[in-house]
Structure 1
């Protein structure tokens, strides 16, 4: 094999790998299929009840002890860490609507902004998520938990606030959409995120952070 041919082959392999990675990033079915299948396998072993409150979104949902946080409600946790709004949209029929929840609560958008998506894109994806869910469940209430301020992503604060504002406008303009503001309660007197609410990584909530969220979300939950 000539040296020129070898370099050419290596170049082609690198391009193919980059294209594959880009495709994975754009295609939720590639990135999250195994995770979604685990949800489906768990459903087969013990099917979640119909008419529950279903929480969906990224790691802030996945790490939330929902049953102990909301003992008076029947809840389903369908959070998968690292996910974006578009991922919940893509899998809505497999992890949301099939359970026929009486209410859907979403937390997503944090990772979207961290991955350089614009506020407009986040708002558009949320609008499409609502549309897809409502095709199957026309009257289901949907609550959106605002993108939270965090220590590790504070440099993205202004972009996150723009996304929150766009989604809040959507919620105000449409029936059965609720915007839950966690941003302002998580900001301290110094105008920055309250450190006592976070784990050591400065991104995920600790027990105190979830206690705050519980108090903000509970009043919005729909009774059975």
Structure 2
């Protein structure tokens, strides 16, 4: 027990110094994940979910897939380009997952990035994961249209289309359409009843819709 505590303190100190030196974005969140790992590192071969707040705020993800080796590493507010530049060596590679599910890109678009830029960053991230973890299956969860970001619907659709086309040519990779599951069948617009009051983040009922399409892949 003393040895584990000692290692925890050393890793915490080194991690804090490393992030401070690099001006690391979201350093508190990453530091917290590394502290958890130092105490109970997930075994290789798990099912990893990474991305922005739609992953971080999925509070019952592990419970929905009880018995599965789920690892949740969502960073609220993060953008896809940051997952390319900063996060893989801390929140993807160390876990050596069997599968990695990625939800990111929505914040990039809201900050003004183009569909082509988002698709290009997914391409970069895919290449990085494939090089480091050649056996890992990669799943991209389509970017959802959120009512509070209605002005970006066209860009969201374009980015999803580009990534879907790209993924179709890649081995051990799938595009999962979770976006259409939250649409009102009559209007083909996002069903606002599935969202929290901010009309950006999903309620549990919204995640119910996601789960209907994810079940066949989370196994």
Residues paired across the two proteins, number: 195
Corresponding residue of 1:99: 95
Aligned residue number for residue 186 of structure 1: 182
User: How far apart are 1:34 and its partner, in Å?
Assistant: 2.6
* Partner Cα separation in structure 2 for residue 216 and residue 103 of structure 1: 16
Aligned-residue offset at 1:30: 3.1
**Residue 54 of structure 1 corresponds to which residue in structure 2?**
48
Residue aligned with 2:215, SS:
helix
2:170 matches 1:174 = yes
Aligned mates of 2:39, 2:99 — CA distance in 1 = 23
CA distance in 2, matches of 1:116, 1:173: 28
1:3-22 → structure 2 map (5 Å cutoff): none
Selected match of 2:82 from 79, 83, 87: 87
Give the number of the structure whose alpha-carbon radius of gyration is greater.
1
How far residue 47 of structure 1 moved from its aligned partner, in angstroms, is 1.1
Distance apart, 1:136 and its partner CA:
1.5
Where does residue 203 of structure 1 map in the other structure?
Answer: 200
TM-superposition CA deviations, 1:106-159 (whole Å, max 9, x none): 000110100001111111111111111112111211000000011101111000
Distance 1:87 1:196, change over 3 A: same
What is the aligned counterpart of 1:75 among 61, 66, 70?
Answer: 70
Alpha-carbon shift at residue 92 of structure 1 (Å): 0.4
Deviations 1:167-224 (A, max 9, x none): 1011111111111112222211112110121111101000100111111111122x3x
> Which 5+ residue runs of structure 1 have no aligned equivalent?
1-27
Residue 43, structure 1, aligned to residue 33, structure 2 = no
| Cα RMSD for the two superposed structures | 1.3
- Of stretches 103-112 and 185-194 in structure 1, the one that deviates more from structure 2 is 185-194
* 2:25 is the counterpart of 1:31: yes
Partner of 1:61: helix, strand, or coil?
helix
Aligned to 2:131: 135
Q: Which runs of 5+ in 2 are unaligned?
A: 1-21
Residue matched to 1:158: 154
TM-score in terms of structure 1 length: 0.83
What residue number does 1:12 align with? none
